[in-house]
A and B are shown apart, each in its own frame.
Chain A
């Protein structure tokens, strides 16, 4: 596709359930980011993948959050035992080679609501 895509667009789940959010980056982009945006707030960095390097997980808020990037392309963000405070928009972005001079391309986000 032409841009970054994310699925599902919206997800409603019950407290305590696990959810998986998917990100399809731009083909050929080696770096991928996940962010979280709570209502009315700015972007909160969660995790960063760059090629085959170990991911930067420094932004993950708890061990209930994890992410994988298989084959250097698609990424899945998993939230286990969801809590109401996990409700937010989860944004994915990709970048060509992960250099500071490059543009990040954001997906439309997944809106997660935990009841």
Chain B
């Protein structure tokens, strides 16, 4: 069983829709990261959180430590949001990041 599971694997949405990507993990963690990988391959950190909720523009990330679950929400989605969104947790014996396989999002105009 993977330590970090994301759902869905693929997601297609129409422009303007509200989008939710989920991340569940099975290890104790000190922090959870959301990253965005552009179609060209570059990876950008979106959020790092250890409790509660963070908001940046149209993106919102939440985490429930008790349920070992995090969500990434995108409001008023736009084609430029099309990317792979990756969840990663800092945990395990070495304390390094453990990555999910990513959710590929495609937003159609």
Q: Do A and B bind each other?
A: no
Residues of chain B whose beta carbon lies under 8 Å from any beta carbon of chain A: none
